Homo-oligomer: A and B are copies of this chain.
Amino acid sequence: MNRFLSNATNRIDTKGRVSVPAAFRSVLVERNIQELYCFQDFVFPAISVGGLDLLDRFERQIAADDPFSPAANQMSLLIHGGGVFMKLDAEGRLMVTDFIRGFTGITNEVTFVGRADHFQLWQPEAFQALQAQAREERKLAGRRSE
């Protein structure tokens, strides 16, 4: 499997670390991702995590614009100023920093959510709620299109 799929919830230990699910770690290995690029998602209260290709994609988007434009400046503020690099420790854990806690509301548990080419860190209850809501809306959309 070379895509991030499914979700899992792990506990944060007393030092503020949490294990990345083994399934996700093996995708990281397959994709040869050593350094993780993390940023605060634009839509959800979640941290998105992926490889440098994620950042590259954003930067191309900026470069396509006028690099001195206010829009490009704002975008850079989000993806550069609002992003961090992280690396896993020898056991495949990452530090849950205030950068992550503040934006997601995570306290002592993290839900990892696969999103194909990246994965996300959610506060467990927030993920449950939004997933349920998405399912509801999907159901209604389905009825309309039938």
Contact = CB atoms under 8 A, between A and B. Distances in A.
A81 B138 contact: no
A118 to B, nearest CB: 10
Contact of A83 (B6, B59, B78, B130): B6
A114 B39 CA distance: 13
Nearest to A82: B131
A76 interface: yes
Given A74-B137, A135-B40, A137-B74, A1 B81 contact: no
Interface residues of A, number: 43
Contacts of A130: 77
Interface string A21-56: 001000000000001000010111000000000000
A139 interface: yes
Nearest to A72: B43
B43 A75 contact: no
Contact of A84 (B6, B42, B78, B80): B6
A21 B135 CA distance: 29
A124 B115 CA distance: 31
Contact of A80 (B40, B70, B116): B116
A68 B76 contact: no
Pairs of residues from A and B, 3 with the lowest C-beta to C-beta distance, nearest first: A6-B84, A81-B113, A74-B134
